[in-house]
Structure 1
Amino acid sequence: MIQLNHIGEALVCELINNSDEVRSFLKEVLALSFDEFIAVPEIRLDPCSDLIFDGVHKVDICILDVHSKTCFPIEAKLGLDRLAQKTFDDRFLHPCKTSHSGSRVSGSMISVIERQLPEQCDGHDLSVTYEGHRYLLTKEWALISRKQVHSKWEVNGFPSVSSKCRHLVFEDVARKYGNSNDFNTLVSKLLNVDFYRKWVESA
């Protein structure tokens, strides 16, 4: 069965791109100054100085300002397990290192966005490239999680991220999109895949 965390990044982008209400909500909650923006899922980071990033180093949700060529990054943690404060910190908040004989950055994407980077990246911008244009990542970023997880953080303590991080609750974003029919229609559209053609005929 398909779970939310299987399609979460693409779904959140669809919610943003197809609803003025969601866009207004994000501008308010994230204090975005962008006038015109699009949301694009899973764009790989550009090299940093002489270091390249692993294939797993993709920004989950890129809020791209088409005028200033700026990217506000959102990381999505939409599962329900292994996200308690200490577990989260242990999994995602160790400083990055280098690998492959010092040619690649190794570490979690959240540590990258938090700028816990190897010294070779000091003084260098982080960026992504979309449709031939380079977008610089803002130092401010957001973490989107489920209401159940967020509520536990409120009681037991939030992950030890910096003050640059703003928190979003997935259910709040989804409700801004519309009612259950609106949401279900969007998800059905997103999952409209001819699996026979994709998996059988293409073999």
Structure 2
Amino acid sequence: MIQLNHIGEALVCELINNSDEVRSFLKEVLALSFDEFIAVPEIRLDPCSDLIFDGVHKVDICILDVHSKTCFPIEAKLGLDRLAQKTFDDRFLHPCKTSHSGSRVSGSMISVIERQLPEQCDGHDLSVTYEGHRYLLTKEWALISRKQVHSKWEVNGFPSVSSKCCHLVFEDVARKYGNSNDFNMLVSKLLNVDFYRKWVESA
């Protein structure tokens, strides 16, 4: 069965790109100054100084300001397991190191966005490239999680991220999109897979 965390990044981008209500909500909650923006999932980071990032270093959800060429990054943690504060910190908040004989950045994407980077990156911007244009990442970012996870954080403590992080609840964003029919139609459109052709005809 398909789970939310299998399609979460693409789904959140579709919610943003197809709803003025969602866009207005995010502008307010994230204090975005962007007038015209698009949401694009999973764009790989550009090199930082003489270091390159590996294939896992992709911004989950890029809010791209098409005028200022700025990217507001959103990281998505849409599962329900292994996200308690201590576990989260242990998994995602260790400072980055280098690997491959000092040529690559090694570490979690959240540590990268939190600027816990190797010293070679000091003073250098982080950026992504989309359709030939370079977008600089803001130091402000957001972490989107499920309501169940967020509620536990409210009781037991949030992950030890910096004040640059704004917490979003997936269900709050989804409800701004519309009713259950609207949401289900969007998911069906996103999943637009011919399972017969994929599983039967190809056999």
Shorter-chain TM-score bucket reads over 0.9
Stretch of structure 1 that moved more, 192-201 or 25-34: 192-201
Residue 85 of structure 1: CA displacement?
A: 0.2
Q: Separation in 2 of the partners of 1:182 and 1:95?
A: 41
Residue 135 of structure 1: CA displacement?
A: 0.1
Normalised by the length of structure 2, the TM-score is 0.97
C-alpha spacing 1:189/1:100, structure 2 compared with 1 (3 Å): same
Q: State the match for 2:7 in structure 1.
A: 7
Normalised by the length of structure 1, the TM-score is 0.97
Off by >6 Å, runs of 4+ in structure 1: 199-203
Residue 121 of structure 1: CA displacement?
A: 0.2
Q: State the match for 1:30 in structure 2.
A: 30
Structure 1 residue runs without a partner (length 5+) = none
Q: For each residue in 1:104-150, what CA deviation from the matched residue of structure 2 results, as whole angstroms up to 9, or x when unmatched?
A: 00000000000000000000000000000000000000000000000
Q: Separation in 2 of the partners of 1:53 and 1:163?
A: 25
Q: Separation in 1 of the partners of 2:12 and 2:139?
A: 21
Aligned length: 203
Structure 2 residue runs without a partner (length 5+) = none
C-alpha spacing 1:201/1:121, structure 2 compared with 1 (3 Å): farther
Residue 201 of structure 1: CA displacement?
A: 6.4
Q: For each residue in 1:12-62, what CA deviation from the matched residue of structure 2 results, as whole angstroms up to 9, or x when unmatched?
A: 000000000000000000000000000000000000000000100000000
Residue 194 of structure 1: CA displacement?
A: 2.2
Residue 197 of structure 1: CA displacement?
A: 4.3
C-alpha spacing 1:84/1:131, structure 2 compared with 1 (3 Å): same
Q: Separation in 2 of the partners of 1:27 and 1:94?
A: 30
C-alpha spacing 1:150/1:39, structure 2 compared with 1 (3 Å): same
Alignment root-mean-square deviation, CA? 1.2
C-alpha spacing 1:130/1:84, structure 2 compared with 1 (3 Å): same
Residue 193 of structure 1: CA displacement?
A: 1.4
C-alpha spacing 1:126/1:152, structure 2 compared with 1 (3 Å): same
Q: Separation in 2 of the partners of 1:165 and 1:129?
A: 22
Q: Percent identity?
A: 99
SS at match of 1:163: coil
Q: Separation in 2 of the partners of 1:16 and 1:82?
A: 27
SS at match of 2:73: strand
Q: Separation in 2 of the partners of 1:135 and 1:197?
A: 39
